[in-house]
């Protein structure tokens, strides 16, 4: 739903009480405004509940799916807008071996561990700290922190996680992740926003570009089986394609995922700097989102399991394809694939990852 025309905001952060959890703990909502963007996030899971972005005429719309009430996020959230951890995506058999020791994890996706288990980071109450704006600043930031105790959801080590949201006047939203541990563990943090640049209706008419020549095919349980080339398949988005023109093609991998729910290996040029991973565009509104990341891969999920049973923000009934996810990450099941880039974090090391969403209009 479109809202009044945009106004360029000076950097600011507002805070209000959003609601209470069943155990009485208070959840707060922070609203960041800077330049043409406004972002609202709650301390439960760091969930981004609202991201207001202008279209080519300057009309504002919320471009992420969410709910109107806290109890929906507590009781039925299909990962809308949350911080994913300790391990984004799937770990096969909900177990992995590290330094000769087998660790059994929370099973919440058949026999697998998905997005950190039944009570992953997106279900936890985070501590929020607005970072002060200084005169002349062209950005505003909110830092979220959470301590994951040793053994939480089966993961070893006491891990301290910090996630920073930054809005800048150049119409960008940046997410920076850091983590440290007191024992060897695995970590793969990401964000699970469902984007719809039209602000409503289906997102399958969006045009998607992925800077990736390879993807990981999946088998039962959507666990990766092998790396394959995208050439000649519906998974080739290197030159951009409308999602709806590909998603119903006759391909066994699309049948496995009921659409797209796959991991692409990015064509990175080396180094740890932010590099372009994806671009998403809505032709009708003109909104364009470019995704840059330090991560080696990205999961494109086309909202296949939205089945009309959920009512989102404003009472919108959410159906398949009404939002899509672009989750920057290491590859799923990497802890069980020693030939893939490692996700192991050891004491004395600091895990770091960054992703930038840059908005513009065509």
Q: How far apart are CA 98 and CA 184, in angstroms?
A: 8
Q: How far apart are CA 146 and CA 199, in angstroms?
A: 31
Q: Is 190 exposed, middle or buried (0-12, 13-18, 19+ CB in 10 A)?
A: buried
- The secondary structure of residue 107, as a DSSP letter, is -
Q: Measured at the alpha carbon of residue 353, what is the angle toward residues 351 and 358, in degrees to the nearest 5?
A: 165
Q: For residue 311, which of 63, 1, 67 has the smallest C-alpha distance?
A: 67
Cβ–Cβ under 8 Å, residues 282 and 323:
no
Q: For residue 280, which of 46, 68, 83, 53 has the smallest C-alpha distance?
A: 53
Cβ–Cβ under 8 Å, residues 63 and 196:
yes
The catalytic residue positions are: 192, 327
Q: How far apart are CA 358 and CA 362, in angstroms?
A: 13
Cβ–Cβ under 8 Å, residues 25 and 42:
no
| Bond preceding residue 86 cis, omega within 30 of 0 | yes
């Amino acid at each position: 739903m479109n809202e009044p025309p945009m106004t360029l905001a000076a950097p600011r952060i507002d805070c209000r009480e959003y609601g209470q959890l069943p155990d009485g703990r208070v959840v707060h909502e922070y609203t960041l405004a800077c330049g043409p963007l406004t972002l609202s996030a709650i301390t439960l899971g760091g969930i981004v509940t609202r991201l207001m972005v202008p279209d080519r005429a300057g009309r504002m719309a919320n471009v992420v799916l969410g709910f109107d009430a806290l109890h929906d996020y507590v009781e039925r959230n299909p990962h809308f807008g949350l911080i994913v951890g300790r391990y984004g995506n799937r770990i096969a058999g909900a177990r992995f071996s590290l330094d000769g020791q087998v660790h059994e994890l929370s099973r919440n996706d058949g026999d697998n561990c998905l997005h950190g288990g039944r009570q992953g980071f997106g279900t936890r109450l985070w501590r929020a700290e607005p970072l002060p704006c200084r005169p002349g600043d062209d950005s505003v930031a909110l830092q979220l922190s959470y301590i994951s105790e040793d053994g939480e959801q089966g993961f070893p080590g006491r891990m301290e996680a910090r996630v920073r949201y930054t809005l800048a006047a150049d119409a960008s939203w940046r997410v920076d992740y850091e983590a440290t541990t007191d024992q060897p563990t695995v970590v793969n943090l990401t964000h699970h926003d469902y984007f719809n640049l039209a602000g409503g209706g289906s997102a399958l008419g969006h045009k998607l570009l992925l800077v990736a020549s390879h993807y990981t095919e999946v088998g039962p349980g959507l666990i990766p089986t092998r790396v394959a080339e995208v050439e000649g398949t519906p998974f080739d988005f290197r030159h951009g394609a409308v999602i709806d023109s590909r998603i119903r093609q006759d391909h066994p991998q699309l049948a496995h995922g009921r659409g797209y729910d796959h991991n692409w290996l990015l064509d990175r040029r080396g180094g740890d700097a932010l590099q372009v991973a994806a671009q998403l565009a809505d032709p009708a509104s003109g909104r364009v989102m470019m995704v840059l990341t330090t991560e080696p891969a990205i999961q494109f999920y086309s909202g296949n399991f939205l089945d009309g049973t959920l009512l989102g923000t404003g009472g919108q009934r959410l159906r398949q394809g009404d939002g899509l996810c672009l989750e920057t990450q290491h590859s799923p099941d990497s802890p069980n694939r020693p030939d893939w880039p490692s996700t192991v974090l050891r004491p004395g090391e600091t895990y770091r990852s960054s992703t930038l969403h840059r908005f513009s209009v065509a």
